[in-house]
Structure 1
Amino acid sequence: MRSPRSWARPWKTSARDCVEARCARASTNSQARSAFLEKRGRLHVIVDTDSGRTLPEFPTLTVLDHPLVADKLGRLRDAATPNKEFRELCAELGMLAAWPATADLQTVQTQVATPFGWAPARSIPRVPLLVPVLRAGLGLVPGFHALLPQARVSHVGICRDPDTLAAVPYYVNLPDDLAGWRAFILDPMLATGSSAVATVALLLERGAQVADLRFICLIAAPEGLRMLFRSYPQLQAFTCAIDRHLNDHGYIIPGLGDAGDRLFGAGAERMPRLWRAAEEALGKGSRA
């Protein structure tokens, strides 16, 4: 079977081919801002030079590069997009991400009866597992279920400590034995990376192997990518975009706001405050 990275462009761009890390002097702010600057065929990152190192490559990360993904992601980011359309776009992007993420699923040879005779066919013998990270991860489930209707869904609830930004599991509904399962971890936003790392750890505790896990998000922050791949360098991950950095509250900039709130209609009154926080982090002043 071909790995997702063997697919022809322009469907996706492998981070092995397109990520070049470099350091530059950060601002005088005590918490130097990180920023991704997109250039043709490359992604550049600015990080704090006080660390004395460059951002490593992410050879197991796949960045989806497709016109449909770009169009839907732009509409998803738009603060004016209503909740109903936001949910639909999440599902559609989940389906588009599921296509390359499932490219190496094992299949078995079989036969089916057509109206004119027998034809060779291939089928997926094992039921995959979808692991949405509550609550925002639920937005990606419909897209995956559209392609894998037989997939089982197990939920993991992880909240973030507002002071330390550490991941704290509060709900785990996973099979006791995950040996041999292909599991897809679904979370629209990879921010600090703590929730992703904690979720992977929960699966490994139940016998899953890193080689059988796939992490799918829509937007990733460089800080989250660093944490995820430092913890699990062999994990295969898929994202639609890599944004600039996290603000002091742990939100991705420019991001799309709080994905859970926008999916389920709660917290809309917080959007102006989030805009101000994002613009202050970028040094652009107040919103007009």
Structure 2
Amino acid sequence: MDLMETASGAHFSGLRLDSGKQLVSSSTPSSPHTPSSNNNNNATPSSPDKNRQPFVIGVCGGTASGKTTVCDMIIQQLHDHRVVLVNQDSFYRGLTAEEAEHVQEYNFDHPDAFDTEQLLECVEKFKSGQTVQVPIYDFKNHRRCSETFRQVNASDVIILEGILIFHDQRVRNLMNMKIFVDTDADVRLSRRIRRDTVERSRDVNSVLEQATIFLTVQYAKFVKPAFDDFILPSKKYADVIIPRGGDNHVAVDLIVQHIRTKLGQHDLCKIYPNVYVIQSTFQIRGMHTLIRDREITKHDFVFYSDRLIRLVVEHGLGHLPFTEKQVTTPTGSVYTGVDFCKKLCGVSIVRSGESMENALRACCKGIKIGKILIHREGDNGKQLIYEKLPKDISERHVLLLDPVLATGNSAGQAIELLIQKGVPESHIIFLNLISAPEGIHCVCKRFPSLKIVTSEIDAALNEEFRVIPGMGEFGDRYFGTDD
């Protein structure tokens, strides 16, 4: 077990992850880098969250060692949108006309080939919770696409991958975890030849000739010396070493478990245990991407909104009380299960909440649904309320329906009305698609015993008290009145 030095200067036991061998737990560093949670309840609308920092992971290794494969496996297994990958290759400097003419003589494996200052600037923005415009590099023409960028939003985990990602101490100091992918030199060489001659199409007309040039010139003159001089020495900074790259599934699984621990729950779920966010998957993230797109058709907006609403409703129903029930199956066996909650009703906040009624009816046969209309009159903010509720609502558990929780004022008025009607606060479950932190604070502080179930917590409210990034006026978009 080699003694490694962390970027902060504290000593850390290097952990070598090798499938089939005993794993040695690493010791705790004297100054662990942990992402700080955001407990600031008074953040101004649309201001970046400077207290909440992402967990930054650096993944280094020799050329074609399998770094990107390892990163992709991690992200695929997590099925979580809060993890993004940024490649150091995006920060290659564009070649001058003279350098482009003699590209075979250019050393792409040297630290000077990268714009480290821009990389550092981007990582610092990530750490401060800002959206970053990551450059896109054209490997065929060896230049940056000046008018095209990849926008990377603030995320809980940022994975930085590259052959020299550990070279600059300033970049290393911004990392919370450093991984070195250790792969046999012969394997890396064969992969590099295939990538440079075929995948990046440096000369599609003569792959064999290019491979020969690579072996005799680039590998001997640039790639191997760069690995010996810059990449291999940076291995000492790694907290975790993964032999054999993507073939080492045990190591990848352990990394995934560690990242899941770092992701944990949303900070607001830690503050308010009565707030529940349905588990994020690529399917859910994809549906959010569609319904938030202002160019989507009304038909598609309704279709994918209904899918998300159904998931939220199903999740909300899971928080209702149940009783044990035994039934006899067609085989004559006894199955022990649970019985649905019988005393239940839905209440939609007109009119956006009405978009959630069909999903509730599809899940609960014959369910009663009431309505509450809240209207703000003039500048004095007076609330005019109309209600049509079941007469026995005080005896029921209530699913309150509104797709967007913004300031929480309307929701607070609706909840107050239900309580006045005799509904216990603990019998109310508020279902919505997206919630703003300000709305969650407002509702949970005022009604700590009810439950909030949402599919995503957005960043904040802007100066106009609209959810950001949000999805606009949901009712207008859903019912086709946004024109």
**TM value normalised by structure 2:** 0.44
Q: CA deviation at 1:99?
A: 2.3
Q: CA deviation at 1:125?
A: 4.9
Which whole-Å CA distance do the structure 2 matches of 1:104 and 1:242 have between them?
Answer: 19
Question: Are positions 1:59 and 2:273 aligned together?
Answer: yes
Which whole-Å CA distance do the structure 2 matches of 1:111 and 1:103 have between them?
Answer: 19
8 A Cα contact 1:93 1:140, kept in partner:
no
Point out 4+ residue stretches in structure 1 off by more than 3 angstroms: 22-26, 31-38, 42-45, 106-122, 160-168
**Aligned match for 1:212, one of 424, 427, 431:** 427
Q: CA deviation at 1:44?
A: 6.4
Q: What are the superposed Cα offsets for residues 64-115 of structure 1, whole Å, 9 maximum, x if unpaired?
A: 2221322211111111122222222222112111222111333344555644
| C-alpha spacing 1:24/1:228, structure 2 compared with 1 (3 Å) | closer
Q: What are the superposed Cα offsets for residues 224-244 of structure 1, whole Å, 9 maximum, x if unpaired?
A: 111111211222101112222
Q: CA deviation at 1:155?
A: 1.0
Which whole-Å CA distance do the structure 2 matches of 1:119 and 1:24 have between them?
Answer: 52
Q: CA deviation at 1:166?
A: 6.1
Rg (Cα) greater in structure: 2
Which whole-Å CA distance do the structure 2 matches of 1:249 and 1:165 have between them?
Answer: 15
What is aligned with 1:258?
473
Which whole-Å CA distance do the structure 2 matches of 1:239 and 1:207 have between them?
Answer: 25
What is aligned with 1:39?
156
Identity between Structure 1 and Structure 2 (%): 26
What is aligned with 2:464?
249
Give the residue type in structure 2 aligned to 1:255: G
**Aligned match for 2:38, one of 18, 21, 32:** 21
Q: CA deviation at 1:198?
A: 0.7
Question: Are positions 1:149 and 2:398 aligned together?
Answer: no
| C-alpha spacing 1:69/1:231, structure 2 compared with 1 (3 Å) | same
Q: CA deviation at 1:248?
A: 2.9
Which whole-Å CA distance do the structure 1 matches of 2:36 and 2:334 have between them?
Answer: 43
Give the residue type in structure 2 aligned to 1:159: H
Give the residue type in structure 2 aligned to 1:63: V
What is aligned with 2:90?
none
**Number of residue equivalences:** 237
Which aligned pairs between 1:90-105 and structure 2 lie closer than 5 A? Answer: 90-105=305-320
| C-alpha spacing 1:125/1:180, structure 2 compared with 1 (3 Å) | same
Give the residue type in structure 2 aligned to 1:179: S
8 A Cα contact 2:375 2:384, kept in partner:
yes
8 A Cα contact 2:45 2:460, kept in partner:
no
8 A Cα contact 2:45 2:461, kept in partner:
no
Q: CA deviation at 1:23?
A: 4.3
Which has the larger displacement, 229-238 or 173-182? 173-182
What is aligned with 2:393?
178
Question: Are positions 1:130 and 2:378 aligned together?
Answer: no
Which whole-Å CA distance do the structure 2 matches of 1:32 and 1:106 have between them?
Answer: 37
Q: CA deviation at 1:149?
A: 2.2
Name the SS of the counterpart of 1:240 in structure 2.
strand
Q: CA deviation at 1:150?
A: 2.8
| C-alpha spacing 1:245/1:109, structure 2 compared with 1 (3 Å) | closer
8 A Cα contact 1:184 1:214, kept in partner:
yes
| C-alpha spacing 1:201/1:256, structure 2 compared with 1 (3 Å) | same
Which whole-Å CA distance do the structure 1 matches of 2:453 and 2:36 have between them?
Answer: 14
Q: Structure 2: 5+ residue runs without aligned partners?
A: 1-34, 50-128, 130-154, 158-262
Give the residue type in structure 1 aligned to 2:414: T
Which whole-Å CA distance do the structure 2 matches of 1:180 and 1:72 have between them?
Answer: 36
| C-alpha spacing 1:69/1:19, structure 2 compared with 1 (3 Å) | farther
Question: Are positions 1:70 and 2:285 aligned together?
Answer: yes
Which whole-Å CA distance do the structure 2 matches of 1:238 and 1:187 have between them?
Answer: 11
| C-alpha spacing 1:62/1:166, structure 2 compared with 1 (3 Å) | farther
Which whole-Å CA distance do the structure 2 matches of 1:35 and 1:228 have between them?
Answer: 23
Name the SS of the counterpart of 1:227 in structure 2.
helix
Which whole-Å CA distance do the structure 1 matches of 2:322 and 2:266 have between them?
Answer: 35
Name the SS of the counterpart of 2:349 in structure 1.
strand
Which has the larger displacement, 34-43 or 60-69? 34-43
| C-alpha spacing 1:161/1:62, structure 2 compared with 1 (3 Å) | farther
Q: What are the superposed Cα offsets for residues 169-224 of structure 1, whole Å, 9 maximum, x if unpaired?
A: 2x201123423311111101111101110111111111101111100111111211
Give the residue type in structure 2 aligned to 1:128: L
8 A Cα contact 1:110 1:123, kept in partner:
yes
Which whole-Å CA distance do the structure 2 matches of 1:206 and 1:175 have between them?
Answer: 10
Q: What are the superposed Cα offsets for residues 134-183 of structure 1, whole Å, 9 maximum, x if unpaired?
A: 111111222222221232111111134564666542x2011234233111
Q: RMSD value over aligned CA atoms?
A: 3.0
Which has the larger displacement, 215-224 or 139-148? 139-148
Name the SS of the counterpart of 1:66 in structure 2.
coil
What is aligned with 1:6?
none
If each structure's helix is expressed as a fraction of its own residues, which one has the higher value? 2
